[in-house]
Structure 1
């Protein structure tokens, strides 16, 4: 499971990653807890799941100015 912490544009991130497969890793939105968005992912490579999600967000029009953390 990965946690994305982002105070704004949470719906944008959910829509961007929910039910999406990136390089064989499938993301599913599970829960919103304040500023935290919890996503389950397929596979066992946590670092790859974080890296791919971060790249996906940053490649959007607002991703390069959006403040977020992924753990």
Structure 2
């Protein structure tokens, strides 16, 4: 990547549960409040509750041919 190449900024995040949030216009305190966490992270009990509710944080399987094409389009 040369110095003129820029990557897109992800402006919002959508969770597995369908919750969407604009992350560029939020203060850190607002983010903590909306995500029900703090700078100390989650308690073990809350982490387990969310794991049971939402499942593991894993990416879906991606078609490698499409990934290769997307990579080549960068150049």
Question: Fold match, TM over 0.5?
Answer: no
Bigger fraction of residues in helix: 2
TM-score (norm 1): 0.27
Larger Rg: 2
Higher strand share: 1
